[in-house]
Structure 1
Amino acid sequence: MKANPSLSNPKIIRLKELTDLYEQKRYSKSSLINFITLNLNMFFANLDEVFIEEEILDRVWVNSHDEDSLLGEDCYLGFDLSSTRDITSVSLMFPPTDTNPKFRFKNFNIKTNNIKNRVRKNGFDLSPFIESGELVEVDSPTIDYDYIFDLISGLAERYNILKVGYDMWSAALLTPKLKNEGLMCEAVSQSVGGLSGATKYLEKIIYDEDVLIDNALNKWMFGNIRLYFDSNGNVKPMKNKKGCDTIDGVMAMLNCLSVYLKDINEDKLVF
């Protein structure tokens, strides 16, 4: 009763209603933690578990998308700029349509020519992703803003980008140029409140298998995520403190998903 005093009053909530709610929430990690926090009065800070298990991601991952089905389609773009000498990520999100009922994420990753960071601190080697083209190594020791601008401009010629979502941090050099190209850019708060809706929605469409995602490097980045929960059940991704490796690709996905959800007035939904 102490965990949920409302159980003492069946007019507020009955035990069966609580157990039914648990059954609905227990299949999604963030939803389960949200249930425990709000209904059992137990607070979680950081969980030392992956965000979404690889076997779940495997169900929605594809080697590539059918380019003919994407050409000229409406989409949202998100980017996440790295620190000056690491990986920057760009993501396109195509909402469901009558002919393509699933969300589709098309992902791009770019790194500087710092040879030392090809092999990460934990021994993970990025070289195979460079060879496959899933990670582009540009000829620059720091972020090549011109390359990223040209990449996004080229994507805007192929697809109908409705809006660009971005983290304000270090984007001051890039967003004015994108706006001059006619792209509508919107900053996405990286706070737990600002990312919670998109994080839960991304988890939902992955578990429901309502999405197709490309680029194997992004799958690796999912494994670097640990979740942070506040006392209100809001959630955001954070780097795994033990590995401290990049999650930029997932953050780029969340940035474009955030502006999409805001556009359809679903950014405040609770899942």
Structure 2
Amino acid sequence: MLAPLQAKAMQMPSAVNNFKTKHLNEWVNADTAWMDMRSWDRCADSSLDLDTYVGQSCWIGLDLASKTDIAALLLVFAHPEIDGAFAVFGRYYLPEDTVHANGNSQYPGWMGSGRLTVTPGNVIDFSWIEADLIEFASRFAVQAVAFDPFQATQLSTRMMSEGLPMIEVRPTVLNFSEPMKTLEALVLQGKLIHDGCPVLGWMASNVVAHLDAKDNIYPRKERPENKIDGIVALIMGLSRAITPGTSVVLGSDYELVML
């Protein structure tokens, strides 16, 4: 009877602790590794091209958690060829001083390859992010820009004046648990298609899932240097894409694992 549940738990890292606690009567730490990185890597498609989505519906997640470190903007599209799948693209912003002072040896390389947008000085210049949002709104049918109001009040006001559909999504368990579980399930099914960006992959590997008594999960990091901003932005964008009333329908083989 437990075998099918155990098989699902072993496949879905965030479900392992829940399985052990409920069915094996084992106490475990509430924080556990979240993403199956082998499944994440299998979702990579190096041919993915943002230009092919011009005119398509788009949901954006925006995490501006820190002005002195990474900010993340994630674009989410319904994949045109895979039923119930999503294609995602990221932009990451970092102040120039942090690139060299942070101690992360990967930052300079990512800057050189264009994976990081570096703004002058020691704090992020939000005008660069605003310019990208306005550009995206001119190229894609932006349905929502999900943002955490912390650090983003003035930016959201300016973007609303530009006509962008800004939607406040506070980083709470209530808002994050379902889309985070959906994101994990999509990855396991090969339906969260990304371009193999090393920045987003690094952030995915840094996420630990905090499980509460009601089986809700929430993204956390074990150490301050383990950035997860891109995944937080992705969760927010995906939360709007799967909201009832949107045009995206998860495929018939989609399964949200509950143990």
Interval of TM-score (by shorter of Structure 1 and Structure 2): 0.7 to 0.9
Which residue is equivalent to 1:80?
63
Which residue is equivalent to 2:160?
179
Counterpart code for 1:229: L
Using structure 2 for the length normalisation, give the TM-score.
0.85
Which residue is equivalent to 2:48?
65
2:218 to 236, 258, 263: 236
Counterpart code for 1:155: F
Pairing 1:20–2:4 present: yes
Counterpart code for 2:157: P
Q: Secondary structure at the match of 1:223?
A: helix
Which residue is equivalent to 2:227?
246
What runs of 5+ residues in structure 2 fail to find an aligned partner? Answer: 250-254
Q: Secondary structure at the match of 1:26?
A: helix
Identify which range, 135-144 or 69-78, moves more after superposition. Answer: 135-144
Once the two structures are TM-superposed, the CA of residue 100 in structure 1 deviates from its matched residue by 4.7
Map 1:64-213 → 2, pairs under 5 A: 65-97=48-80, 99-101=81-83, 102-114=85-97, 116-118=98-100, 120-121=102-103, 123-213=104-194
Once the two structures are TM-superposed, the CA of residue 222 in structure 1 deviates from its matched residue by 1.4
RMSD of aligned alpha carbons: 2.4
Q: Quick check: 2:13–2:36 contact (8 Å CA) kept in 1? A: no
What runs of 5+ residues in structure 1 fail to find an aligned partner? Answer: 1-15
Once the two structures are TM-superposed, the CA of residue 118 in structure 1 deviates from its matched residue by 3.5
Once the two structures are TM-superposed, the CA of residue 134 in structure 1 deviates from its matched residue by 0.7
Once the two structures are TM-superposed, the CA of residue 44 in structure 1 deviates from its matched residue by 4.5
Go from structure 1 to structure 2 and tell me whether the alpha carbon gap of 1:185 and 1:38 turns closer, same or farther (over 3 Å shift): farther
Using structure 1 for the length normalisation, give the TM-score.
0.82
Give aligned pairs, total: 248
State how far apart, in whole Å, the 1-side matches of 2:51 and 2:225 are.
38
Q: Larger C-alpha radius of gyration, 1 or 2?
A: 1
Deviations 1:233-262 (A, max 9, x none): 111111123x63211111111110112222
Q: Secondary structure at the match of 1:197?
A: helix
